[in-house]
Amino acid sequence: MTPVRRFSLGPQTALVLEQGDITRSDADAIVNAANERMLGGGGVDGAIHRAAGPGLREACEAVAEVRPGVRCPTGEARITPGFDLKARWVIHTVGPVYRGAASAAPLASCYRSCLRLAAEHGIGTIAFPAISCGVYGYPRGEAAEISLRSCREVLAAAPELREIRFVLFGDEPYAAWLQAAEALVR
Ligand code: ADP
């Protein structure tokens, strides 16, 4: 059995923590921890591109560059269809490379930007990976707290959002999010 825990993040929004592979999620939207070019990469980004098929790369190429080589600046988000995924949408966001306390604001901005796009598209369920916790080196416990605080802050602006899921790849990120949720969420 995949570990799953359910909390309540607000009057109408559940928080679900599960251990697993986000590419298999049946959420309306899954979030990709992308890079600024948005043309795929390693980690969860590569897994999402492989599972979504070549349409995703074409859709990413079609996203306008804000400056040469940058389609999505750090802390912002862009949305594309999900192509071969179960998820209808992929929301691409670019987390910060961890550089101590200065990285907290851009990481919080990722979560807020994704939820703003979700609200604009009437998305009911969204699944996040542990943004910046892979090669970008963010300490998991800190990232988990920032993610939950940021999500809670913007809930009021996303009335159609019924469920925020975190799909955590492996025991350690799952344990970190569980500990943060037990401390911060009822
Ligand atoms: P970043 O560059 O933002 O650090 P990574 O892809 O390196 O992104 O890692 C972000 C997190 O995603 C890590 O915790 C990693 O274990 C996790 N991850 C990797 N593959 C998957 C997957 N298929 N589903 C969910 N999470 C994944």
Q: Are 17 and 4 in contact (CB under 8 A)?
A: yes
Whether 167 is in the pocket of ligand 1, judged by its Cβ within 6 Å, is yes
pLDDT at 59 (0 to 100): 98
Reported as a pLDDT band with limits 50, 70 and 90, residue 156 is confident
Q: Hey, where are the domains in the chain?
A: 4-184
Closest ligand 1 atom to Cα of 173: 14
From the candidates 21, 45, 84, 171, which is the catalytic residue? Answer: 45
Reported as a pLDDT band with limits 50, 70 and 90, residue 159 is confident
Query: Phi, psi (5° rounding) for residue 97?
Result: -75, 135
Among 22, 103, 169, say which to mutate for ligand 1: greatest number of ligand atoms within 8 Å of CB: 169
Reported as a pLDDT band with limits 50, 70 and 90, residue 180 is very high
Whether 129 is in the pocket of ligand 1, judged by its Cβ within 6 Å, is yes
Least confident of 4-8, 24-28, 157-161: 157-161
pLDDT at 163 (0 to 100): 98
Per DSSP, 133 falls in state S
d(CA 111, CA 161): 14
Q: Are 127 and 115 in contact (CB under 8 A)?
A: no
pTM above 0.95, yes or no: yes
Q: What is the pLDDT of residues 99-149, one digit of tens each?
A: 999 999 999 999 999 999 999 999 999 999 999 999 999 999 999 999 999
pLDDT at 97 (0 to 100): 98
Average pLDDT on 84-99 reads: 98
CA of 138 to the centre of ligand 1 (A): 11
Q: Are 30 and 87 in contact (CB under 8 A)?
A: yes
Given phi > 0 = left and psi -120 to 50 = alpha, else beta, which region is 20?
Answer: left
> Residue 186: pLDDT above 80?
no
CA of 106 to the centre of ligand 1 (A): 17
Superfamily name with CATH number, domain 4-184:
Leucine Aminopeptidase, subunit E, domain 1 (3.40.220.10)
Whether 132 is in the pocket of ligand 1, judged by its Cβ within 6 Å, is yes
pLDDT at 3 (0 to 100): 87
Q: What is the pLDDT of residues 32-83, one digit of tens each?
A: 999 999 999 999 999 999 999 999 999 999 999 999 999 999 999 999 999 9
Token reading at 73: 């600046």
SS3 at position 143: helix
CA of 17 to the centre of ligand 1 (A): 15
Annotated active-site residue 26? The verdict is no
d(CA 186, CA 10): 10
pLDDT at 1 (0 to 100): 67
